[in-house]
């Protein structure tokens, strides 16, 4: 089975079932199937051949989903790039993957006009590249994570079974298409013959609008970064009334979810299954933990759970209290585009430990590990402790300075009307962390800076402190 087979199969089985909903527009599986064929013919006329790359610098829409399907049917690979990316970065990505075409929103309308006819899909194998997701690279240039049909389907098939997807479900697509969270939204829906409801980019972090979307669209399966759920809770009234009546599964991934906020959600939605999924873009989801009523008394950070999607996950070095998370199995990427193929297990650069219940716990990033006055410090560990303070809604920690002058600074979002004090937070840290990990300075902020994918923007947090230092 290949990714384009999912829509083809659903269209034969239930042609009139809704496949994709975008605002007031809905495409049935038959309509999506026919539109994908028309777009595939148009792309073939433009010279797209098996193995080519097509950059989609487009908004989330039914047309974009159809073009993704069209590219796959031609045996090529699509490269989604959010329209918020500036032209020079898009050009860098297109050059980097030697793209056959770069398509913007205005280009999609012309692809729709191709006369409809059934297309014979190009021969492809499960090992062929299906799409490339570009992420920020440590060198400053974006790097493309090449994902095969096998990589994607190994995760999607497991996820669909784990969450019990069926044709009656409506999945919300909150993540942009260049973010790996969208793989479940789209292909999980297509595998089950369900409907995926696209969340416009303009609503991605608009808390009241997102909450209305969840209720009014009768979403049954929600998947997003934790910060979106935190925002909906704090400013969107998500937990002010009864739970969303249609919602049966809520999944979060992409960053740690403060335990207090997770447990608040767990207590408010007793009938909704909650999952914490973990995995870098290079592996998609490789571990999973279901949050149940048994976690309501939990004081430790939320686990990332056990290996899933057919993968094997372990810590290196073996037996250490904290080790690097290593992944091997069918979801591990083909490699970074233009670089040697991934050979063997993937070293995530994340550190983890085994909790007392046998579940894996996330500790932090290797590349965020810093030294403070001679001690190795992982800022994420300090953030996790700060997040357990009753007056803290969220926190981001950075280290300012170097050597003996290095200091731990925290940007803190207060919880409600609470005003956490510097002394109170230092005492809280001292009760849970070694002395060298106690924060040196705290700055209260209305919200943490976020990247386009909703993760904490650490560079922007550091800039906040740099600005404060300059202003004196």
138 pLDDT exceeds 50? no
Q: Output the pLDDT for position 301.
A: 86
Residue partners of 69: CB distance under 8 A and separation at least 6: 4, 7, 32, 36, 39, 40
Cis peptide before 70 (omega within 30 of 0): no
Return the axis-axis angle of helices 62-73 and 105-112, rounded to nearest 10°. 70
Beta strands 306-307 and 312-316 are: unpaired
Which residues on adjacent β-strands are paired with residue 132?
146
**Nearest Cα to 386, choosing from 433, 318, 316?**
433
Highest mean pLDDT of the ranges 197-206, 326-335, 375-384, 428-437: 326-335
DSSP 8-class letter at 41: H
Q: Do residues 45 and 53 make contact, with C-beta atoms less than 8 angstroms apart?
A: no
Q: What's the average model confidence in pLDDT over 181-191?
A: 97
pLDDT average, residue stretch 370-389: 75
Rounded average pLDDT over 405-414: 88
Instruction: Please say if the pLDDT value at position 54 is more than 80.
Output: yes
**What pLDDT is recorded for position 106?**
93
pLDDT in the model for residue 352: 95
Instruction: Give the model's confidence band at 375: pLDDT under 50 very low, under 70 low, under 90 confident, else very high.
Output: low
Q: C-alpha angle 226/173/55, rounded to 5°? A: 110
- Amino acid 407: pLDDT: 86
Structural tokens at position 369: 């590990």
Greatest Cα-to-Cα distance within the chain, rounded to the nearest angstrom: 70
Q: Are 349 and 324 in contact (CB under 8 A)?
A: yes
Cα gap 73→48, rounded to integer Å:
11
Alpha-carbon span 443 to 412, nearest angstrom: 6
Q: Sorting pLDDT into bands at 50, 70 and 90, what band is 124?
A: very high
Which of the residue ranges 254-263, 369-378, 394-403 has the most confident prediction, judged by mean pLDDT? Answer: 254-263
Average pLDDT over residues 39-51: 95
CA 456/CA 451 separation, integer angstroms: 6
Residue 374 pLDDT > 50: no
pLDDT band at 467 (very low <50, low <70, confident <90, very high): low
What was the pLDDT predicted at 364? Answer: 82
Residue 471's pLDDT band, with cuts at 50, 70 and 90, is very low
- Report, as an integer, the average pLDDT of 86-108: 92
pLDDT of residue 403: 55
Residues 373-384 have a mean pLDDT of 72
Share of the chain above pLDDT 90, in %: 71
The encoded tokens of residue 343 equal 């050979």
| CA–CA separation, 426 and 438 (whole Å) | 6
Q: What distance lies between CA 326 and its chain's CA centroid? A: 19
The answer to whether 222 and 250 are in contact (CB under 8 A) is yes
In the structure encoding, which two tokens stand for residue 436, read together? 């060298």
CA-CA distance, 198 to 201, in Å (whole number)?
Answer: 9
175 has a pLDDT exceeding 60: yes
- The pLDDT of residue 107 is above 50: yes
Find the helix or strand (DSSP H, E) in which 110 lies. helix 105-112
Contact status, residue 158 vs residue 309, Cβ threshold 8 Å:
yes
- Percent pLDDT > 70 in the chain is 92
β-pair type (25-28, 18-22): antiparallel
- Mean pLDDT: which of 80-89, 262-271, 372-381, 425-434 is highest? 262-271
Residue 89, Cβ neighbours under 10 Å: how many? Answer: 15
Q: Which domains does the chain have, with CATH numbers?
A: 3-363 (3.40.50.12780), 369-471 (3.30.300.30)
For range 168-185, the mean pLDDT: 95
- Encoded tokens for 100: 């056959």
Judge contact between 67 and 37, C-beta under 8 A.
no
Looking at residue 204, its pLDDT comes to 85
Could you tell me the sign of the dihedral formed by the alpha carbons of 7, 12, 13, 19, in that order?
positive
The pLDDT of residue 259 is above 70 = yes
- Rounded to an integer, the average pLDDT of 338-367 is 92
Tell me the mean pLDDT in the region 253-263: 88
């Amino acid at each position: 089975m290949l990714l384009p087979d999912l829509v083809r199969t659903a269209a034969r089985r239930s042609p009139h079932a809704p496949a994709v909903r975008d605002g007031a527009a809905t495409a049935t599986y038959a309509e999506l199937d026919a539109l994908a064929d028309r777009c595939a013919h148009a792309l073939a006329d433009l010279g797209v051949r098996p193995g080519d790359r097509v950059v989609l610098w487009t908004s989330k829409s039914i047309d974009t989903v159809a073009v993704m399907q069209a590219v796959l049917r031609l045996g090529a690979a699509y490269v989604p790039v959010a329209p918020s990316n500036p032209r020079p970065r898009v050009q860098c990505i297109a050059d980097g993957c030697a793209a056959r075409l770069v398509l913007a929103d205005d280009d999609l309308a012309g692809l729709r006009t191709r006369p409809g006819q059934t297309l014979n899909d190009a021969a492809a194998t499960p090992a062929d590249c299906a799409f490339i997701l570009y992420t920020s690279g440590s060198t400053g240039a974006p790097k493309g994570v090449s994902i095969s049909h096998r990589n994607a389907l190994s995760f999607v098939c497991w996820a669909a079974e784990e969450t019990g997807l069926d044709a009656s479900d409506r999945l919300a697509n909150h993540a942009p298409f260049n973010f790996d969270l969208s793989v479940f939204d789209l292909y999980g829906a297509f595998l089950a013959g369900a409907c995926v409801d696209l969340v416009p980019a303009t609503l991605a972090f608009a808390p009241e609008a997102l909450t209305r979307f969840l209720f009014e669209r009768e979403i049954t399966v929600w998947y997003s970064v934790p910060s979106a759920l935190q925002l909906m809770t704090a400013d969107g009234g998500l937990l002010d009334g009864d739970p969303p009546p249609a919602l049966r599964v809520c999944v979060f991934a992409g960053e740690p979810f403060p335990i207090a906020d997770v447990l608040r959600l767990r207590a408010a939605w007793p009938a909704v299954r909650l999952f914490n999924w973990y995995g870098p873009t290079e592996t998609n989801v490789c571990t999973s933990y279901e949050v149940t009523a048994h976690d309501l008394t939990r004081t430790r950070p939320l686990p990332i759970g056990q290996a899933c999607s057919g993968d094997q996950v372990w810590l290196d070095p073996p037996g250490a209290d904290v080790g690097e998370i290593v992944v091997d199995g069918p979801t591990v990427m083909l490699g970074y585009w233009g670089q040697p193929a991934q050979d063997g297990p993937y070293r995530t650069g994340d550190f983890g430990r085994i909790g007392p219940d046998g579940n894996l716990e996330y500790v932090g990033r290797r590349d965020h590990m810093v030294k403070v006055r001679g001690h190795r410090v992982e800022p994420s560990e300090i953030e996790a402790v700060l997040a357990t303070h009753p007056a803290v809604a969220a926190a981001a920690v950075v280290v300012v300075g170097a050597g003996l002058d290095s200091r731990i600074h925290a940007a803190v979002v207060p919880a409600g009307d609470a005003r956490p004090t510097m002394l109170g937070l230092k005492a809280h840290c001292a009760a849970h962390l070694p002395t060298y990990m106690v924060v040196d300075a705290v700055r209260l902020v209305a919200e943490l800076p976020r990247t386009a994918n909703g993760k904490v923007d650490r560079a922007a947090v550091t800039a906040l402190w740099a600005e404060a230092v300059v202003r004196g």
